[in-house]
Amino acid sequence: MDPLSPGLYIVATPIGNLGDLSPRAADILSRADVVAVEDSRVTAGLLRHIGVKRHMQPYHDHNAEEVRPGLVSRLSTQAVALVSDAGTPLISDPGYKLVRDARAAGHAVVTIPGPCAAVAALTLAGLPTDRFLFLGFLPPKVKARADAIAEIANVRATLVLYESGPRLSACLSALAKGLGDREAAVTREITKRFEEAVTGTLANLAARYADTPPKGEIAIVVAPPGEPEPASAEDGDAALAEALTRLPASKAAGEVAKRLGLDRKALYARALEMKQ
């Protein structure tokens, strides 16, 4: 078996079904000098599945600062494969600093793409996928979670986030309160025996799981906000009346046109009528 060229290999691993490990990923893992892992017990099972043994170096949030320099120093002579417990490394998992430092030191960085729970959830949800925002896990505390939701309330994109079963209903309720009762999907145990995707409004889903928190890995997909209602002539008049107390007609018309999406020339003519 030929050795791998030295460098860092970012290897996506299955999120459930071990059959989803790509042949290329299996080849890289079988030839790497060391595998950087979140949990050696989890990765050991994957390595047994493909019939290989490799030296494993724990690399996770709690030891990354200490371990990273040593991993980077290995890259000049060794092939280091980085994996997470499931899915694509760096997606809600540690690793981007290792990639950054490896590249800064002049080492090769290679990606071996594959499963990702966030992308898989999008394919199951039946919601728009032309633009989406991945949020990872929202903060568990009530105020911090509400603040995080408020930051993205007006983002015109489908939202994807992860959550645990015990916190699912509270998270869905917070999303409904902060975003409005949008369409959503709760996907669970993707690629596993009990895979499911349950759709409905955020409020309905929150009620569904209030008394029966689900088990397993969970991803929530939330529809983007609906198109805003167009401003009426009455809205324009009210906004103009207020703006004319502060601004000349031309500037008042420009301000209201920008804010409400109305025609500036028509607003300017109306402003002149109102001033008379």
107 and 125 both lie in a single domain: no
Torsional sign, CA 222, 200, 186, 172: positive
176 and 104 both lie in a single domain: no
Within a domain: residue 137?
A: yes
The continuous run of DSSP H or E covering 269 comes out as: helix 264-275
* Residue 264, φ and ψ in degrees, nearest 5: -65, -40
pLDDT class of 259 with cuts at 50, 70, 90: confident
100 and 146 both lie in a single domain: no
Within a domain: residue 162?
A: yes
146 and 185 both lie in a single domain: yes
141 and 208 both lie in a single domain: yes
Within a domain: residue 195?
A: yes
| CATH code of the domain in which 166 resides | 3.30.950.10
136 and 97 both lie in a single domain: no
Domain with 95, as residue range(s), is: 7-112
- For 99-132, write each residue's pLDDT tens digit: 999 999 999 999 999 999 999 999 999 999 999 9
* Residue 183, φ and ψ in degrees, nearest 5: -70, 145
Q: Are 190 and 118 in contact (CB under 8 A)?
A: no
- For 198-252, write each residue's pLDDT tens digit: 999 999 999 999 999 999 899 999 999 986 667 788 888 999 899 999 999 999 9
pTM: 0.80
Within a domain: residue 227?
A: no
| Distance, CA of 242 to CA of 263 (rounded, Å) | 18
Within a domain: residue 1?
A: no
Within a domain: residue 36?
A: yes
DSSP state of 52: -
pLDDT over 90 at 133, yes or no: yes
Within a domain: residue 204?
A: yes
- For 53-89, write each residue's pLDDT tens digit: 999 999 999 999 999 999 999 999 999 999 999 999 9
**Angle of the 233-243 helix axis to the 264-275 helix axis, nearest 10:** 60
146 and 57 both lie in a single domain: no
Strand order in the sheet with 79-82: 56-58, 34-37, 79-82, 7-11, 109-112
238 and 150 both lie in a single domain: no
Within a domain: residue 228?
A: no
- Our count of domains for the chain comes to 3
271 and 182 both lie in a single domain: no
Number of helical (H) and strand (E) elements in the chain, helices listed first? 11, 10
